[in-house]
Amino acid sequence: MNVWGLRLKPSEVDRVIVLLSENVVAIGWSDADALLKRTLSKESFRKILSETYPSENLANALEHTWRFIREMEVGDIAVIPHGNDVYFVQIAGDPYCQKDASETDTVIRRPILRLLNGKPLARRDLPEPLKHALAFRKTSANLSAVSATVGSVLKKVAGDAGSPLTANENSRATAAAMTAWRRAFQNIGRTDHGFSKRTIWIEELSLWLDVGGWERDDEHRYWSGLGDRLGSKKTRNLIVEVNPPDGGPPKRWQGLTARDENGTVWILHSGEMNVGGTRIQLSEALYGTKFPRKLVKLKSGEITPYFVVARITADDMEVVRQTARFVQACAKVRTRITDASNPEFIEAQGNALLLEESIGVTTVPAQAAKAIERVHARIWHAVRKELEEKGYKVANQRVGSLGPDLYTVGHGTCCLIEIKTAFSASDYMKAVGQLLVYEKMLKRRYRKILILPKGMRDMARAILATLDIVVVDYEVLKSGVKFDWDAALSA
């Protein structure tokens, strides 16, 4: 592991925070992007720079561009001073050209992984040898003399010296990792919801996991689906699949299991998703995904970044929470594609996920066996069908994982709709919170509708009316579900 110093100040403009927020570093000298051609010699670098920047110090330009493009390797650590703060990142890929960044002189870039959760350390708290090494004034510096110091700092703060994970490339290790992942969900969630017993449902997080597969060509084909709405195979909302190979290199498989130097197991994802028949990559700048990744070393020697789905620990709830965060990041990207014509909803999704992350989830209370989710799913689909028959367009995603069940767009006054299959105080108090809080996330007024089984008392109904929440009763009949919309959907 090599260590480098970088000052992200192309054209003498501080770009540290902006570039790190995009998970990249940049070198400057943007008009010389021809330097990225892999076959160029150092003498060719010198010629291109002298012709492109004839008035600049040639030795200085050659030193820093050659170091950034050729000497830095995937897995190396870069230390970035910024005032009284110091950031630590890991080089996650080869240099590339970002043509539309010429105005900021950041065309020549490299992808990074931000270490220490992206947070800086105070310069004053660093060991003296490292503080002294960071006194360099130029664009970059070779900090190999303090590589051991940097490693000890990272290990002390994060318990991780930045070493790549090792991919599990045998069937036994892969099976053990997938079993441990499913077991964490089983210990928290439920399968008594009336749908497939393979589907584990975490109601409080609106999250399900289905780990299955089949035997084919003398190997096990994993199929591991994750989604945020319970239902049948046709109606549940599949967000992302995490399918590792049954041993061997990942090749076309987007899932992977790996272990770190302490033997801890990780469930990972390459970031490739199928959205409406189009293959997209979570790491593309277009989608703005700022989600943690880890470098993984394959048996072939290749080192490549993978998104973290979950780190298997003794805390089952933490495993589930980590998985939920990954699913939310994938859902956000799906929304940007499937609801591209609705920028307000895309923004709301992002704000909702930030809110839910800040709230956090610490526990899921023990629950008696129950099978009411099938009822909820039946009502949900009946509501959606009636809304569409009335000319409403229903958004493909809910507003975050904790928000109301349905959201309509593009039909007069839009609606936020929450469904409860019971009308106890706790049911409608929770619904009120969902409707009011997520209306704020959407940054405009909505018709807020609470759908409940028939029988809510008039006093509670009147109180909800003062909060601008309309109650719609429903009855389950042999012929289907009957809703008393009354004036709830009037313009």
Burial of 259 (0-12, 13-18, 19+ CB in 10 A): middle
CA 276 → CA 63, 139, 338, 342, distances in Å?
Answer: 46, 44, 8, 17
> Domain 3-160 class?
alpha beta
Taking Cα atoms as reference points, which of 3, 262, 250, 13 lies closest to residue 115? 3
Would you state the pLDDT for residue 162?
Answer: 61
Query: Any idea which fold 373-484 has?
Result: Trna Endonuclease; Chain: A, domain 1 (3.40.1350)
Q: CB atoms < 10 A from the CB of 8, how many?
A: 25
Q: 360's torsion region: left (phi>0), alpha (psi -120 to 50) or beta?
A: left
| pLDDT at residue 361 in the model | 45
Closest CA to 164 of 82, 56, 256: 256
- Give the length of the chain: 491
What pLDDT does residue 184 have? 94
- Of 178, 184, 223, the residue nearest 207 (C-alpha): 184
The secondary structure of residue 31, as a DSSP letter, is G
Token digits of residue 44: 């060719």
Buried residues in 262-294 as b, exposed as e (16+ CB within 10 A) = eeebbbbbbbbbebeeeebebbeeebebebbbb
Domain positions in the chain: 3-160, 166-338, 373-484
**Pairwise CA distance, residues 126 & 65, whole Å:** 28
pLDDT of residue 359: 45
- pTM summary value: 0.66
In terms of DSSP H, where are the helices of 29-114? 42-52, 58-66
The answer to whether 447 and 470 have CB atoms below 8 angstroms apart is yes
Burial 441-454 (b: 16+ CB within 10 A, else e): bbeeebbbbbbbbe
Residue 136's SS3 state is coil
Distances (CA, A) of 2 to 134, 146, 149, 171, 424: 15, 10, 12, 33, 61
pLDDT in tens, the chain (491 residues): 799 999 999 999 999 999 998 889 999 999 999 999 989 999 999 999 999 999 999 999 999 999 999 999 988 999 999 999 999 999 988 899 988 899 999 999 998 888 887 889 999 999 999 999 999 989 999 999 999 999 888 887 765 546 789 999 999 999 999 999 999 999 999 898 888 889 999 887 889 999 888 887 777 889 999 998 888 888 888 999 999 998 888 988 999 999 998 899 999 999 888 887 788 888 765 555 567 788 899 998 888 889 999 999 888 988 998 898 899 888 888 877 776 666 666 666 666 655 555 445 444 444 555 555 678 888 888 998 888 888 888 876 777 667 788 888 765 678 888 988 876 777 778 888 888 888 887 777 888 999 988 887 788 888 888 998 989 989 888 888 999 888 787 65
What confidence score (pLDDT) does residue 123 get? 93
Q: What are phi and psi of 108, to 5 degrees?
A: -85, 110
Do 174 and 182 meet the contact criterion of CB atoms below 8 Å apart? no
